[in-house]
Amino acid sequence: MSPDIGLIVGSGLAALGLDVVGTETVQTSFGEPSSPLLSVAIADKRLECIARHGVERWIAPHAVNYRANVRALHEAGVGRVIAINLVGAISPDFTPGSIAIPDQLIDYTAGRESSFGEGQDIETRHVDFTLPFDPILSGAIAAAAADCGYSIRRGVYGVVQGPRLETAAEIDRLERDGCTMVGMTAMPEAVLARELGIDYAVLAVAVNYAAGRSPGGVPIHAEIEQALADGMLRVAEVLKRLLASS
């Protein structure tokens, strides 16, 4: 049986090694999603998956059609989304290659289409976003990670506009704001999912120390490939464990 869980996978798609068993090109009233709906097999289950940055071309974080992506999964019957996002590590106990589940976010993005804008009532016009990530789904992912032997960091995801990386001063500011990790794609994805009543959680993979945070002053890009490979192995294991019990 297919669970109602869907995936939105970012730049680590290839490293995640998903077993794609079908594809369906779809359109939505908000345009074309970044990729066809990819039907992936994990632990005897089939899930619908969107490749956030596309499959054959790379769509930059600020240019992703987040509305079409979230809408396409909703129309496919997905009620819970696990988003796999690459992030830079800000807090010192978070190191490249490790995984985290944010429980809060701060949105620093600008100019992205961040609402379906069809709300007829006060709840859908002004969605309650006190808790941007679904605590139950986040908890289930954390439990699966613990079963796999991974210690999971929680924390605050600062969502920046990109596509450039930050200055060291910007990272200092994010840290003062309380951010423990920085990435480019959790918003507006999280709020769009909330508008459609989809439970949404992020499983984040740290692929670099954020700007100015590398202990030995190692250039940001030097370690990304290895951290991505290590982190995605962990993500694949966690998803398998989670889906085996879903």
Give least dist CB 75 to ligand HPA, A: 29
Q: Which sign does the torsion angle of CA 8, 65, 35, 233 carry?
A: negative
- Would you count residue 88 as binding ligand HPA (CB under 6 A)? yes
Does 12 bind ligand HPA (CB under 6 A)? Our answer is: no
**φ, ψ at 190 (rounded to 5°):** -65, -40
Angle at 213 between CA 209 and CA 217, to 5 degrees: 95
Between 32 and 170, whose beta carbon lies closer to ligand HPA?
170
Identified binder of ligand HPA from the candidate list 140, 210, 238, 239, rule CB under 6 A = 210
Q: Which of 208, 223, 227, 239 binds ligand HPA (CB under 6 A)?
A: 208
Q: Do residues 212 and 182 make contact, with C-beta atoms less than 8 angstroms apart? A: no
Is 87 a binding residue for ligand HPA by CB under 6 A? The answer is yes
100 or 198: whose CB is closer to ligand HPA? Answer: 100
Q: How far apart are CA 27 and CA 16, in angstroms?
A: 26
Q: What is the C-alpha separation between 198 and 82, in angstroms, rounded? A: 10
- Tell me which H or E stretch contains 20: strand 19-24
Among 81, 179, 182, 242, interactor with ligand HPA by CB under 6 A:
182
**Stretch of residues binding ligand HPA (CB under 6 A), selected from 124-132, 182-190, 194-202, 226-234:** 182-190
Count Cα neighbours of 127 within 13 Å in the Cβ-side half-sphere.
21
Q: Which of residues 134-173 bind ligand HPA (CB under 6 A)?
A: 160, 165-166
Residue range at the interface with ligand HPA (CB under 6 A); choices 49-57, 126-134, 206-214, 230-238: 206-214
